[in-house]
Chains A and B, each alone.
Chain A
Amino acid sequence: MEILVCVKRVPDTAENEIELNSAGNDIERDDLVYSVNEWDNYAVEEAIQIVDKVGGTVTVVTVGDEEADEVLRREMAMGAQNGILLNDEAFEDSDSMGIATLLKAAAEKGKYDLIMTGAQADAGYAAVGGMLAAMMDLPYASLVNMVEVGDGKLTVGREIEGGNQEVNEIELPCVLSIQTGINEPRYVGIKGIRQVSGIEIPEFDAAGLGVDPATVGAAGAKTKRVDYFIPETGEGAEMLTGSTEEIIAKLIDIMKANGGLK
Chain B
Amino acid sequence: MATVYAFVAHSDGVLDDSAAELAAAAKKFTDAPVTAIVTGSGVDAAAAKAAELFPAVWKIDAAELAYPNAEVVRKALLNNLDAGAVVLMAHNTFGMDLAPGLAVKIGGAFVADVVDIEGADGDTLKVIRQEYGGVVSTHVTVDMSAGAVVTIRPGAVAAEEGAAAAGGAIEAKAAGDVSAKRKFIEIREPEAGDVDITKAEVLVSIGRGIEDQDNIELAHELAKAIGSQAEVACSRPIVDAKWMDASRQVGTSGKTVKPKVYLAMGISGSFQHMGGIKGGVIIAVNKNPNAPIFQVANVGIEADILEFIPELTEALGDL
Interface residues of A (CB under 8 A from B): 11, 13-14, 17-20, 27, 95-97, 100, 119, 122-131, 133-135, 138-143, 155, 157-171, 174, 180-181, 184, 222-231, 233-234, 236-240, 244-245, 247-249, 251-252, 254-255, 258-262
Which chain A residues lie closer than 8 Å to B230 at the CB level?
A: 260
Contacts of B241 in A (CB 8 A): 184
| Closest Cβ neighbor of A27 among chain B residues | B136
Report if B41 contacts A (CB, 8 A).
Answer: no
Contact between B261 and A134 (Cβ–Cβ < 8 Å)?
no
**Chain B residue nearest to A254 in the complex (CB):** B299
Taking A247-B301, A260-B201 as known contacts, 8 extra A-B pairs with beta carbons closer than 8 A to each other, sorted by chain A number, are A14-B208, A160-B187, A163-B190, A224-B142, A231-B134, A244-B311, A245-B315, A254-B261
Docked-complex contact A141 and B253, CB < 8 angstroms: no
Q: Does B284 belong to the interface (CB within 8 Å)?
A: yes
Q: Give Cα A123–Cα B132 distance, bound, in whole angstroms.
A: 6
Closest residue to B189 on the A side, CB-wise?
A: A164
Q: Is B24 part of the binding interface, using a Cβ–Cβ cutoff of 8 Å?
A: no
Residues on B with C-beta less than 8 A from A125 are 100, 110-113
From A139, which residue of chain B is reached at the shortest CB distance?
B181
Once bound together, how far apart are the Cα atoms of A11 and B131, in whole Å?
11
With a cutoff of 8 Å between Cβ atoms, the chain B residues found around residue A160 in the complex are 93-94, 187
Which 5 A/B pairs are nearest by Cβ-Cβ distance?
A: A130-B100, A260-B261, A237-B300, A134-B101, A222-B109
Question: Could you tell me the distance between the alpha carbons of A126 and B92 in the complex, rounded to whole angstroms?
Answer: 11
Q: Does B254 contact A (CB under 8 A)?
A: yes
- Within B161-206, which residues are at the interface with A (CB < 8 Å)? 180-190, 201-202
6 A–B pairs (Cβ distance < 8 Å), ordered by A:
A225-B140, A227-B138, A228-B136, A251-B299, A251-B301, A255-B226
- B64 contacts partner chain A, Cβ-Cβ < 8 Å: no
- Closest-CB distance, A245 to chain B (whole angstroms): 8
Flag whether B319 is at the interface (Cβ < 8 A): yes
Asked whether B296 lies within 8 Å of A233 as measured between CB atoms, the reply is yes
Q: Are B135 and A237 in contact (CB under 8 A)?
A: no
With A131-B110, A261-B227 as contacts: A143 and B93 at CB distance below 8 Å: yes
The answer to whether A123 touches B131 (Cβ under 8 A) is: yes
Point out the residue from A139, A143, A164, A237 that lies within 8 Å of B187, measured CB to CB.
A164
The interface residues of chain B lying within 8 Å CB-to-CB of A247 are 301, 303
Question: Are B100 and A129 in contact (CB-based, < 8 A)?
Answer: yes
Chain A CB within 8 A of B255 CB: yes
B292 CB → nearest A CB, Å? 7
A5 → B minimal CB distance (Å): 18
- Which listed residue (B130, B143, B242, B284) contacts A222, Cβ 8 A? B143
Pick the most buried of A14, A19, A171, A233: most chain B CB atoms within 10 A of its CB: A233
Residue in A closest to B156 when the chains form the complex, CB atoms: A233
Cβ of B99: which chain A residues have Cβ within 8 Å of it? 127, 130
A contact residues around B301 at 8 Å (CB): 239-240, 247, 251
Closest CB of chain A to B235's CB: distance in Å? 12
B47 on interface, CB distance cutoff 8 Å: no
Bound-state Cα–Cα, A148 to B96, Å: 22
Task: A227 to B118: give the CA distance in the assembly, Å.
Answer: 14
Residues of the B chain whose Cβ atoms lie less than 8 Å from the Cβ of A239: 294, 299-302
How far is the CB of A4 from the nearest CB of chain B, in Å? 18
Kindly name the residue among B97, B129, B237 whose own CB sees the greatest number of chain A CB atoms within 10 A: B97
* 8 Å CB interface, B93-148 against A: 93-94, 96-105, 108-113, 115, 129-143, 146, 148
Q: Is the interface of A mostly helix, strand, loop or mixed?
A: mixed
Determine the chain A residues whose CB is within 8 A of the CB of B44 once the complex forms: none
Given contacts A131-B101, A227-B139, contact A236 B295 (CB under 8 A): yes
Give the chain A neighbours of B297 by CB distance below 8 A.
Answer: 237
Question: A87: shortest Cβ distance to chain B, in Å?
Answer: 23
A174 to B182, CA, bound (A): 9
Residues of B close to A260: CB separation below 8 A = 201-202, 226, 229-230, 259-261, 281
Docked complex: B272-319 residues within 8 A CB-CB of A: 280-284, 288, 290, 292-303, 308, 311-312, 315-316, 319
Which of B137, B143, B282 is within 8 Å of A230, CB to CB? B137
For A233, what are the chain B residues with a Cβ–Cβ distance below 8 Å? 115, 134, 292, 295-296
Taking CB atoms, residues of chain B closer than 8 Å to A158 are: 93, 97
CA of A100 to CA of B240, assembled, Å: 27
In angstroms, how far is the closest chain B Cβ from the Cβ of A134? 3
Which residue of the partner chain, among A19, A131, A180, A254, contacts B100 with CB atoms under 8 Å?
A131
Q: Is B56 an interface residue (CB 8 A)?
A: no
**In the complex, are the beta carbons of B315 and A141 less than 8 A apart?**
no
Greatest chain A CB density within 10 A among B230, B247, B301 is at: B301
Closest chain-B Cβ to A109's Cβ sits at a distance in Å of: 20
Does B246 belong to the interface (CB within 8 Å)? Answer: yes
A164 touches B188 (CB 8 A): yes
Question: Contact: A238 with B299, CB < 8 Å?
Answer: yes
Nearest chain A residue, comparing its CB with the CB of B126:
A226
- CB closest chain-A residue, reference B67: A166
B249 at the interface (CB under 8 A from A): yes
Determine if B256 is an interface residue (Cβ-Cβ < 8 Å): yes
For the complex, what is the distance from the CA of A258 to the CA of B279, rounded to whole Å?
Answer: 12
Q: Contact at B253–A167, with CB atoms within 8 Å?
A: no
